[in-house]
């Protein structure tokens, strides 16, 4: 055996990780629970947008998902532009905004400021539950 298979496997794994990798992992190579939270934040934006974290087939300004979504802040009128068009109108924009806010907390550049995964799961469950409840009429708010 010449070992080429092992080198190729490691290289492939690094490429897969890098598209979701937290900045501190890219600098140190160390994985932690907080790097997992970062990756989950990327995954949330992938789900919302229906896009991959890196897609070289898109225009240059849209190739890196996290850079592209920054052009559509959560509280802006343009936020809906990031939602996967294949969803049509079969989603709650309020829930999508809350999921994006959750993703943003996961994507804090300061690892200690990222939530624990257990907190992320609880918040996601609350967002999903709230999106299933009928909206409160304005006059009762």
Does the pLDDT at position 134 exceed 70? no
Q: How far is CA 17 from CA 13, 42, 64, 70, 88, in A?
A: 6, 11, 14, 21, 31
Does the pLDDT at position 6 exceed 50? no
Q: Which fold has domain 4-140?
A: Transferase(Phosphotransferase); domain 1 (1.10.510)
Domain boundaries, the chain: 4-140
Does the pLDDT at position 1 exceed 70? no
CA 33, CA 14: separation in Å to the nearest integer? 18
CA 80, CA 99: separation in Å to the nearest integer? 13
pLDDT at 5: 45
pLDDT 10s digits, 30-68: 888 899 999 999 999 999 999 999 999 999 999 999 999
CA 54, CA 21: separation in Å to the nearest integer? 12
pLDDT at 13: 43
Task: Let me know: does 97 contact 80? Beta carbons within 8 Å.
Answer: no
pTM (predicted TM-score): 0.79
CB atoms within 10 A of CB 51: 18
């Amino acid at each position: 055996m010449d070992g080429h298979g092992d080198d190729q496997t490691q290289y492939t794994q690094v490429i897969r990780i890098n598209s979701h990798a937290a900045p501190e992992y890219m600098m140190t190579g160390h994985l932690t629970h907080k790097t997992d939270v970062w990756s989950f934040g990327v995954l949330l934006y992938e789900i919302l947008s229906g896009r991959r974290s890196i897609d070289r087939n898109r225009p240059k300004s849209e190739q890196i998902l996290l850079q592209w979504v920054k052009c559509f802040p959560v509280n802006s009128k343009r936020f809906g532009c990031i939602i996967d068009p294949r969803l049509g109108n079969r989603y709650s924009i309020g829930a999508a905004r809350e999921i994006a806010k959750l993703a943003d907390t996961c994507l804090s550049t300061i690892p200690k400021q990222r939530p624990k995964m257990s907190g992320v799961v609880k918040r996601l469950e609350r967002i999903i539950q709230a999106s299933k409840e009928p909206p409160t009429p304005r006059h009762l708010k």
